[in-house]
Amino acid sequence: MASVQDILAKLRISNHNSAWYTGLKSGSESAQTREIFSPINGAYLATVSMANDADYEICISEAQAAFEIWKKMPAPKRGEIVRQYGDKLRHYKQELGELVSLEMGKIIQEGLGEVQEMIDICDFAVGLSRQLYGLTMASERPDHRMFEQWHPLGICGIISAFNFPVAVWAWNSMLAAVCGDVCIWKPSEKTPLTAIACHKIMEEVLRENNLPEGIFCLIIGDAHIGKRMSEDTRVPLVSATGSTRMGKAVGTAVGARLGKSILELGGNNAIIIAPSADLKMAIAATIFGSVGTAGQRCTTTRRLIVHSDVYEKVKSELLRLYPKLPIGSPLEQGNLVGPLIDKDAVTNFTNALTSVQAEGGKLIYGGTVITDGELAKGNFVVPAIVEAENHYEMVQHETFAPILYLLKYEGDVTNAIAIQNGVKQGLSSSIFTTNMLEAELFLSYKGSDCGIANVNIGTSGAEIGGAFGGEKETGGGRESGSDSWKAYMRRQTNTVNYSTALPLAQGIKFDLD
């Protein structure tokens, strides 16, 4: 494992005590700075400058100018730039994965996996660059041809969250790029270093191809910059990932100007364990889903809905395995639970447990903050299991921390589905069953109301090939695979008349003679 200094140096990031980056080479000097500390041990990593309104205007101007060049490039040529970026990511995968772990706190395997996810979406986007298909439709008028085509939107604003500091940007930016859009990225101010590293790698690609750096802009700023972007008519599309509260503010601002938005917001995801389930598989998926990324995934398993016939067996197995989970530095191989992002997250964890117990919940494992030894320097907690009821306020609420609510259901699977659907969020869901009727019901219109519904796999770990997103307070957006690319373009319907007559649709007669 390289030192912090070595990792930053290999990624071309300086590490010193002065304010040194706004995300814009030509940006004005900002008086506001932010120090970045690792959640692992509180170690100082770097200091960044926070962009101001002048920086934002420069960013918009550079993006607008770059769009005039980028949109004229054939889509496969744009795909070639994305391909080169994917190759650069392969070269820097180890260092970038380590930086994700250092700055965000997820275990190194997840950090490397996040970089691999970027590589995968680059590959997907390269193929997509030759598949931006329209449709030809039959016209009711003789000697007419009707078809649709897709055009670039312009500037795509990307607001990303700390928990996936690089992958979600790539989901959006790589697809937007092959579609002909330029991107302005406002990462979470909690994890700017990984964003800067990704941007510097992209700068290499753009310079090598004599392209303007404004095709991919980066701006490090607080919520004010996000608000500016959301209200800016020069940004036709804003893709925002974060809390439901944040998403409502972004959606309201973008909607007020009739812009387009992609919202990926809160999740309150559940696994149903039916009586026929393979319990070994189900419990393994539950533990990964509930403690992976220290419970800080939008797809984290927060509720486990278990049939009464197997409830005690599942509970007993969880209580056997949870104490064996290695908690420690995410940079050390073998550790499975890293730290929370900051002290506020630790406070939210303990407050949630206090509140749910006040409602009647029973804490049966964990729930403590680690306050001794080396781990006391970081933001480490012991993942918690709470026996609860689905209607409890805290169970209805998404707490970004490793808290698993254990819920019991009786009768047939429709009762479990009602519990699963009985929250405001609708991102990811899963059922473990070997009963085909239960599995099909879960996937039918009578089943899960989430954007993602899985059978015999957990709620976390989506592949890039499928459209990612959820319903209800999760926002309704879709990113990554399938036909999500259409959100980054504008559809145009075209009709060509190759006759010398002018017939009207619906048989309307409008004779001027």
> Got the DSSP string for 58-77?
HHHHHHHHHHHHHTTS-HHH
Maximum Cα–Cα distance for the chain, whole Å?
94
> Alpha-carbon dihedral of residues 308, 279, 465, 472, nearest 10 degrees?
10
pLDDT at 31 (0 to 100): 62
Positions of E strands within 187-264? 216-218, 237-241, 260-264
Q: Which of 95, 114, 213, 264 is catalytic?
A: 264
CA angle 472, 475, 476 (to 5 degrees): 80
Distance CA(51)–CA(203), nearest Å, equals 19
Active site residue 264: yes
- Which residue from 100, 118, 116, 120 is spatially nearest to 108, judged by alpha carbons? 100
Token pair belonging to 337: 């639970």
Residue-level pLDDT at 16: 39
Which DSSP category does 273 fall into? Answer: E
pLDDT digits (tens, 9 = 90+) for 230-243: 999 999 999 999 99
174-191 pLDDT per residue, tens: 999 999 999 999 999 999
- Is residue 98 flagged as an active site residue? no
- Tell me what pLDDT residue 464 has: 93
How much is the pTM? 0.94
| pLDDT score for 415 | 98
The one-letter amino acid at 209: N
Find the catalytic residue in 298, 438, 450, 479.
Answer: 298
Kind and range of the H or E run holding 345:
helix 343-358
H/E stretch holding 37 reads strand 33-37
Q: What is the pLDDT of residue 263?
A: 97
Burial class (CB in 10 A: 0-12, 13-18, 19+), 490: middle
The pLDDT score that the predictor gives to residue 17 is: 36
pLDDT attached to residue 26 = 37
Tokens, residue 461: 């770990």
**pLDDT of amino acid 6:** 78
Please measure the distance between the N-terminal and C-terminal CA atoms of the chain and give it in whole angstroms.
Answer: 85
Residues (pLDDT < 50) of the chain are: 16-28
DSSP helix/strand/coil, 249: helix
| One-character DSSP codes across 447-498 | S--SSEEEESS-SS---TTSEE--EETT-S--EESTTGGGGGEEEEEEEEE-
- The DSSP bridge pattern shows strands 216-218 and 182-186 to be parallel
Nearest to 398 by CA among 246, 187, 191: 246
